[in-house]
Structures are given as structure tokens and as C-alpha cells.
Amino acid sequence: MKKGLIYTIIICFLLLGCPLSGTTVTAQELLGDVSDGSQSVYVHLIRLYDGEGTAIAADDEPAQPFSPRQTCGKCHSYETISKGWHFNAADPNVVPGRPGQPWIFVDASVGIQIPLSYRAWAGTFRPEQLGITPFEFTKLFGRHMPGGGVGELDSDEAMRQFVSGKLEINCLGCHNAHPGQDQGGIFGYASQIAQQNFRWAAAASSEFASVSGSAAAQPDTYDPLMSDAVATKYRANTFDDTNRVLFSIVRKVANERCYFCHSNVNVERHGSEKWTADEDIHLTAGMTCVDCHRNGLGHNITRGYEGEDEVSENLLAGTSTCEGCHLGTGSSVPEAGRLGAPVPEHPGIPPVHFEKLTCTACHSGPWPAQKTYRCKTSQAHALGTHGANKSPDALPHLMFPVLAKQPNGKIASHKLIWPAFWGTLKDEKVTAITLETVRQVVGGVTGGERLPPSGDWPDLTEAHIAKALGSLQESVEGTVVYICGGKLYQLDDSGQLSKEEHTVAEPYLWPFAHNVRPAAQSLGIRHCEDCHATDGPFFFGKVAVDSPLVSERRAVRTMIEFQGIDTFYAWAFAFSFVFRPWLKIVALGSCAFLAGVLLLYALKALACVAKVLVGND
């Protein structure tokens, strides 16, 4: 009897207990995961925890750097946050969406400038193709990464990763409102990344801790208790008497935090002098970046492009676009004018323009000139970090605005980079050769050329390329090629250098929206000829071709080559606008005659009817 009762209890436990326990594990909701709706800012007076989850106290010796995963993760689900757009690039299950700004690896000494991304954006290369491991990638670009994602992947350099630790999400990088948050300073976040102090980066960037020492300088047998170990020191008065620390955390991130990773500068018009350039019109009007680029706990921030709602789970993806605020999305209730957005009239602009152009084509970036400008960005040029090259010629060379057709058929403003790299050609596909091989082989050939202090290309010649290809051919299997300036170079059967256009040599373009110009400076504001002119930059502007080869540096392409429009048609259509005033005069004159005839005979008819009515006929 007792045995039966015990079995029954065990079976009941197995049937009910296990699934229930599973449910509680997966649906765990932390204190800060869901808002109660209050618009006020929660005061974060909290304990710090190290990477092991041990609480940090003021008198700990040696002091450990706090871990955002352990500290912030006590109240906010780190795992959920880590799936957000800023952290999920390396997740193959994430839909890449519209092409975005890639990371750009540059090594001028061997003629390399190549767009990299873990996202499947056509035209970019995966870092591992060049032999760049996640650890190496973090070392190179972690300066402008918010942590998490690639920074937390296991790498082949297990021992180095053991010393450096993983680069956890640095929540403070965005959410710390304290002016002492140091992302680019000499002891700040970017400097810590350069020294491979991944574990210490978040603490070092905060206003209440400082870090000394370099993980890069530590041996694989690193011991945290060694005298020259990387050390963390919390400033006086950081901890209160209960060992809690006051954070200046805000939900609504300040523009300056976004700017650290998302600054742009038109080096040809403004150089690096930011006081000469205007900000985006939205920011000038008093808005913040996160007014439009919003996210919830999942940090799946809206990118703000048309059609994003098809690939994003963010509830606001469909409405956080230019049209969403300025025109509404056709809902049954009025939506236009969100956040005070003026509703545009677009007088005199035929509606076909809205089918063929994105808003950014006319409103974003600098007013198109006869030739594209060069620009620098935080991520590409390490802007805002200690020792960033301030020269306008520093690589990588990014061109903008390029008015090119997107996959959805609309022309938009783009930034552009011409890839330059060494690869092998097989079945019309080019595979990049690893950096290690290129540096060993090509470095010896091109190394004789002096690298300019401006950070520009060295003066490479076709002889350099031919010699380097010959040397590489001896070290690498397959047909060795060099891609640069939109062309593919290879040695022909006679050993002579030949060049041809190739799809893999085509530039990588990504659309941009900021800075948005005021409506009074948008294309078409003056007249149709802002774009429809036979020499108008919209169709016939020159896109500079960038190449390390001296002989190719003056090469240009025409904007229309990126628009999928027949050149003669665009020219003829633009030419027809010369006659547009005549068309208007002739048509209005004809209308005047027609109206005159109608009026005259209407009056005659009226007179006739009147005569009949009075019997005077």
C-alpha cells in the first residue's frame, strides 16, 4: 500500500513538477525588465558585482572591475538585451535587413581597405575570410562597439581571452548620463580595448573607477595577484556605507553618447572643424536620436528605414520612419505630425517622385556637388578616440553622397567605399587571402614605399602590383588577383598585368539618412533643374574612384551608373526641361484661345436664346 502511494507521488511529481519547474526558469522576469509606466528616472543606487557575481566592497584588495552582466543583469535580463541590434551582428539567425555601415579594415602598407561585417550584407566580407578571429576583431573595432556579441564569442586565442576577459555589454556606454563617462579619452573605453583590457573596459570608462596596466603586456600565465597585474581602483566616495554606488543612469540616452560611435564629418567641406558644420535639423530642433530610434528591453532599436517593419519585431519599426512622423502611415486616426514633425506639402513635385525616391535622396547629406565629397565616420576613422588621425586624407576613403538605387527600386543617398584587397579567383568568385599571408608576401614588395603620415595610400604602381601578384602566386593556390578601384588585376599568361571590371570589385554602398538638411535646402526647392539638368549632379555628378594605384587616382564614375537608368534617357529628359517654360507658355496660350472661343460662342448662344425667348427672331 505504502509502495503504491510512493510510486503515485513520484509519478505525479514527474508529470507536474518537471514542466512547472521548466516554466519558471524560462519565464523569469527581473525587477527592471518591465516598466510600471512611470516617466520618472529610477535612481540606481546599487551594489557592484565582479565577473564571478561576487559583491564588490570599498575595501576589497585587490579591487575587481565590476561586471555589467552581473551588476546590471541583477535587475535587467542580460540575455534578452544581448539579442538587441547593437549586439547581435554575429548571430546568424538575425535578419540582416538593409545594408548598413560596415567595419572597415585598413592596412595601407599592403594596399588593403575592405568592408567587413558579420551580417550578411552583400558586398561585405566576413572577418574570418581574412583570418580575423572574434578576439582580433574586438581588438580592432571594440573601441566603437558597445560590447557583447562578437566581444563575447569564444575565440581561438583562448589564453589571450583568458587574460583579457570577454568584452561584456557596456551599459554605461549609452545609459550613463554622468559627464565623466569616458569612451574615447586616454584612460577611457577605447584605450582599454587597445590594451586588450576587455574585462576592465566598462569600469575604466565609468566616472568612479580607473584602471592601470595592460592585458596585452601580460603573459599567457597571467595571475591577477601579480605586482604588475591590471589593477582597478575605485575613486574615493564611490561607495556609500552599505557599499552601494550611485549611477547616473537614464533610459533616454543623450545625443553625445550616440555621437561617440555615430559621428560623421564632411572632410572636404568642414575638415575636422565641427563648429563650421550644422547638425541634423532634427537635433537642431531639439530632438534626440532616441526620439526616433527607440527600443524596449530587447534593445531591438529601430533603424528607421522604409520596410523595416517587414524584418523587425520592434512595434514602432513601421512608424519610426520619415513618412511615419511627417506623413503618417494611413491609419484610421491622424498620425502625421508626431513629435511636432511638419507635414510637407511638396508643392509642384509630381507624386511619381515619391515612388522613385526615398526621402533621404532629397533631404539627406550635403547638397550634391559635381563630385562626391569624402567623409569620415567614428567607426571607420576611430573619431573621438585618443590619437585618431585628424588628416582629411586618412584611410579609409568614404565617398558621399552617392545617389544610388536600392534593392527596393528607390534612389537613396548612400556612402560608398571601393574595396581593395588580395584574393584568389575561381569560377568568377574571388576569395580574400588571409592577412597573415598578404603581410608576409606583399609587405616585402610594397614595404619599400613610404607610408604618408596623413594616413593616405602609399604611392603604389602597376609594377608593385605585378610583382606582388607574382610573389603571392608562389605562396597561394589558384589564380591570384588584386581588387582595387573597381577593377580586378591579374597576371596574364605572359606574366603581364591585366585589368578588367568585375562585380566583386564594385564598391560597397550603404544608405544614410543623417544629417538631414532643412526643408528649405532640399533638392527641388528652387526648380526642377536642381536635379533635371544636363550637368546636374543628381544624375551626372562624378563619383570619385579610390585606388592605391597612382595611375587610377583621378578616375571617376558617373552617378547615373548606380541608378539603373539609361544615360541618354536621363540626359534627354533633363534637356527637355530647357523647353519646359515654352511648353507652359504654349499650353497656357492655347487654353486662353480655347476659353475665348468657348466664351464667345457661349455668349452668342445666350444672345440667340434670349432673342428666341423674347420673340425677336
Q: Of 211-219, 250-258, 348-356, 484-492, which part binds other proteins (CB under 8 A)?
A: 348-356
- Rounded distance between C-alpha atoms, residue 338 and residue 194, angstroms: 42
Secondary structure (3-state) at 115: strand
Of residues 241-280, those binding other proteins (CB under 8 A)? none
174: cell is 549609452
Bridge partners of 232, per DSSP, are 211
For other proteins (CB under 8 A), the number of binding residues is: 39
Among 158, 370, 589, 610, binds other proteins (CB under 8 A): 589
CA separation, residue 217 to residues 137, 213, 429 (Å): 18, 8, 40
Question: Which one, 235 or 580, has the nearer CB to other proteins?
Answer: 580
Shortest spacing between CB 590 and other proteins, in angstroms:
4
DSSP codes joined into one string, 395-450: SS-EEEEEEEE-TTS-EEEEEEE--BEEEEEETTEEEEPPHHHHHHHHHHHHTTSP
Query: Distances in Å between the alpha carbon of 103 and those of 182, 382, 418, 427, 537?
Result: 22, 11, 13, 27, 28
CB of 306 to other proteins, least distance (A): 16
Ranges of beta strands (E only) in 196-323 are: 209-212, 231-234, 244-247, 264-266
Verify binding: residue 345, other proteins, rule CB under 8 A.
Answer: yes
What whole-number distance in Å separates Cα of residue 416 and Cα of residue 398? 6
Per-residue CA distances from 22 to 14, 26, 73, 120 (Å): 12, 7, 21, 35
Contacting residue, 27, 225, 236, 352, with other proteins by CB under 8 A = 352
Of 426 and 580, the one with the shorter C-beta distance to other proteins is 580
Residue 586 beta carbon to other proteins: minimum distance, rounded to whole angstroms: 4
- In whole angstroms, how close is the CB of 533 to other proteins at the nearest point? 16
Give the residue with the Cβ less far from other proteins, 1 or 613.
613
- Residue from 315, 369, 451, 612 in contact with other proteins (CB under 8 A): 612
Task: Give Cα 112 to chain centroid, integer Å.
Answer: 21
Contact with other proteins (CB under 8 A) among 186, 598, 606, 607: 598
Cα–Cα distance for residue pair 39/571, rounded to 1 Å: 55
Q: How far is the CB of 358 from other proteins (least distance, A)?
A: 15
Nearer Cβ to other proteins (275/593)? 593
Residue from 187, 354, 540, 571 binding other proteins (CB under 8 A): 354
Give the span between the Cα atoms of 9 and 96, in whole angstroms: 50
Minimum CB separation of residue 305 from other proteins in Å reads 21
Question: Rounded to the nearest whole angstrom, what is the least distance from the CB of residue 599 to other proteins in the complex?
Answer: 11
The residue within the footprint of other proteins, chosen from 95, 518, 590, 606 (CB under 8 A), is 590
Query: Of 374, 432, 434, which is closest to residue 401 (Cα–Cα)?
Result: 374
d(CA 519, CA 475): 57
Q: Which is nearer to other proteins, 5 or 613 (CB)?
A: 613
Tell the smallest beta-carbon distance from residue 615 to other proteins (Å): 7
Contacts of 139 (CB under 8 A, 6+ apart): 193, 194, 196
> Among 351, 407, 409, 448, which residue interacts with other proteins (rule: CB under 8 A)?
351
Q: Which helix (H) or strand (E) holds 138?
A: helix 134-141
Q: Are 550 and 111 within 8 A, CB to CB? A: no
Q: Which stretch binds other proteins (CB under 8 A): 250-258, 499-507, 512-520, 606-614?
A: 606-614
- Comparison of 251 and 604: residue with beta carbon closer to other proteins: 604
How far apart CA 300 and CA 308 sit, in angstroms, is: 12
- Note whether 594 binds other proteins by CB under 8 A: yes
Angle between helix 435-446 and helix 462-475 axes, rounded to 10 deg: 140
| Span 269-328, contacts to other proteins by CB under 8 A | none
* Interface residue with other proteins, options 597, 606, 607, 610 (CB under 8 A): 597
- Could you say which of 348, 407, 409, 448 contacts other proteins (CB under 8 A)? 348
Among 41, 186, 605, 610, binds other proteins (CB under 8 A): 605
Q: Residue 260's closest CA among 314, 185, 324, 199?
A: 185
The least CB distance from residue 604 to other proteins, in Å, is 7
Shortest reach from residue 360's CB to other proteins, in Å: 17
Residue ranges in 567-586 that form contacts with other proteins under rule CB under 8 A: 569, 572-573, 576, 580, 582-584, 586
* Dihedral pair phi/psi, residue 374, rounded to 5°: -100, 145
Task: Output the smallest distance, CB 324 to other proteins, in A.
Answer: 16
First to last CA, the chain: 126
Extract the C-alpha cell encoding 382. 576611430
Q: Taking contact as CB under 8 A, which single stretch among the options 285-293, 482-490, 492-500, 609-617 is the one that binds other proteins? A: 609-617
- Cβ distance to other proteins smaller for residue 207 or 529: 529
- Selected from 286, 334, 347, 409, the binder of other proteins by CB under 8 A is 347
Selected range binding other proteins among 376-384, 479-487, 541-549, 602-610, rule: CB under 8 A = 602-610
The distance between the two most distant Cα atoms of the chain, rounded to a whole number of Å, is 126
Pick between residue 27 and residue 352 the one whose CB is nearest to other proteins.
352
Residues within the interface to other proteins (CB under 8 A): 344-352, 354-355, 569, 572-573, 576, 580, 582-584, 586-591, 593-595, 597-598, 600-601, 604-605, 608, 612-613, 615, 617
